[in-house]
Amino acid sequence: MPAPGPFGRGHVCTAYDARMTDHDQAAPDRRFRPLVRMTARDPHEPHRVATPLELFFDLCFVVAVAQAGVRLVHAVAEGHAGQGVLGYCLVFFAIWLAWLNFTWFASAFDTDDVPYRIATFVQIAGVLVLAAGVPRAFDANDFSIAVAGYVIMRVALAFQWLRAARNAAGPARTTALSYAAGLVVVQVGWVVLLLQPVGGLWYWGFLILAVAELAVPIWAERAQRTTWHPHHISERYGLFTIIVLGESVAAATVAVQSAVDEFSALGELLPVGLGGLLIVFSAYWLYFAIPIHQHLTSGARAFLWGYGHYLVFGSAAAIGAGLEVVVEQAVGKAHISQTAAAAAVTLPTAVFLLTVWLIHSRSAKRGFAEHAVLPGCALAVLASTFCGDAAVPVAGLAMAAAVAVGEVLHSRHSRRRPAA
């Protein structure tokens, strides 16, 4: 049995997981208990998977992601791409960071007792408030409701860290208190920022506070690293990737439905729907091609991987928004050119490919050919922007080709390995 983590082994009381089999007798007791001491879980704990509460938490974030995507579609379709992308990046940052911090905390301290569940529900309420404020943030530069929802989520997380500090000692307690203090101080900064008019100085203030938010975990863990579980973390990130890709599947479905409803545009919209599905299916395949938990071996690597997913998640969700823009342009509802509409799909797809290669799959690549697959596909996708009404189908074929080439190269490498 592995030695206790720096925060202590503590009680393990997560919700019952139906995926456990009868022979898993060594797994921890997962029956619900109303109240337990919040001490850290074993980072080597067997059978550590996402709980139903975590899945519920993720699904509630779909509302906020969908709202951000809808407003991005409207802004780009009306010819305000710059304003739309900026608003999308700001709002998605809040969504992503709140999700990220809860996920890493839960990986180390999930007790799933009454106080933990209530605090999680408060965070869910916060993301719903944030989602309600997305339209105002995009349309009127009014971030008051969105920031209120964000602060609700962060204050609830600060409570969780204070609870963890109560049951810790030494460097572990210092880390927990540092997290709580850092969160509270930065939230005060967000409230002060609300008092300023939105403009150049406001955006600089946002940037400073965003950097401060990202710095809190780095600063807090200088005393001692929290005992997150690599396999659990990789599963949680994979599940959220599926959620944001699901938004793009919904957009491809809208394209196909529009093709059926707009029979006169059937020849233009059906290829968009099929190309969009190819892009999304290939994105899924490429992301889940390797078991990333084996490479999360240090705090520095985990920070880079975890923070880099801002671009992975944001671009994956933006692909769906781009598909809707292409549909609106095809039926004459968007006030932009065909090339600009195509770029709404190809640009986020290229960002997704490059980011997945840089932070996620590069560690498992061997040789120049394997390393060149995703960057080469990104270039091909960008080039497809100028293929007129065939842009999305061509991008989809490029993605499918990347999957095929990657599988062939991986198969060859696997066959050579035993001989070596």
**Which pLDDT band holds residue 253 (cuts at 50, 70, 90)?**
confident
Task: State how far the alpha carbon of 398 is from the alpha carbons of 4, 256, 384, in Å.
Answer: 48, 21, 9
- Mark out the alpha helices in 167-229 (DSSP H runs): 171-194, 200-220
**pLDDT tens for each residue of 84-100:** 999 899 999 999 999 99
Contacts for 203-211: CB closer than 8 Å, 24+ residues apart:
206/90, 210/93
Please answer whether residues 272 and 393 qualify as being in contact, where contact means their C-beta atoms are separated by less than 8 angstroms: yes
CA terminus-to-terminus distance, the chain: 34
139, 132, 142, 135: which is closest to 196 by C-alpha?
A: 142
Asked if 314 and 347 touch (Cβ cutoff 8 Å), the reply is no
pLDDT in tens, 310-361: 999 999 999 999 999 998 888 888 889 999 999 999 999 999 999 999 988 7
Distance CA 346, CA 326 (A): 11
Question: Which pLDDT score, from 0 to 100, does residue 376 have?
Answer: 95
pLDDT of residue 416: 65
- What gap in Å lies between CA 410 and CA 127, rounded to an integer? 40
Query: Do 44 and 108 form a contact (C-beta atoms < 8 A)?
Result: no
DSSP 8-class letter at 332: T
Dist CA 67 CA 132 (whole Å): 8
Grade residue 420 by pLDDT with cuts at 50, 70 and 90. very low
Q: What is the pLDDT of residue 31?
A: 56
Alpha-carbon distance 365 to 214, whole Å? Answer: 29
Mapped onto helix, strand or coil, the DSSP state of residue 11 is coil
Q: Where in the chain is the domain with CATH 1.20.1410?
A: 230-290+302-416
Q: Is the pLDDT of residue 17 over 70?
A: no
What's the pLDDT band for 21 if we cut at 50, 70, 90?
very low
In the chain, what percentage of residues exceed pLDDT 70? 87
Q: Which residues contact 332 (CB under 8 A, 6 or more apart)?
A: none
Least confident of 29-33, 112-116, 188-192, 207-211: 29-33
- Selected residue with higher pLDDT from 289 and 5: 289
Taking all residues of the chain, what is their mean pLDDT, rounded to a whole number? 84
Task: Please report, rounded to a whole number, the percentage of residues in the chain having pLDDT higher than 90.
Answer: 47
Nearest to 305 by CA among 68, 57, 37, 100: 100
Residue 282 has, within 13 A of its CA and on its CB side, a CA count of: 30
What is the dihedral angle through the alpha carbons of 323, 326, 330, 332, rounded to the nearest 10 degrees? Answer: 120
Look at residue 414 in the predicted model and tell me its pLDDT: 67
Asked if residue 121 has pLDDT above 90, the reply is yes
Rounded Cα–Cα distance for residues 365 and 406 (Å): 10
Write the pLDDT tens digit of every residue in 33-79.
677 777 778 888 888 888 999 999 998 888 889 888 888 998 998 88
Query: Does the structural domain 230-290+302-416 have CATH classification 1.20.1410?
Result: yes
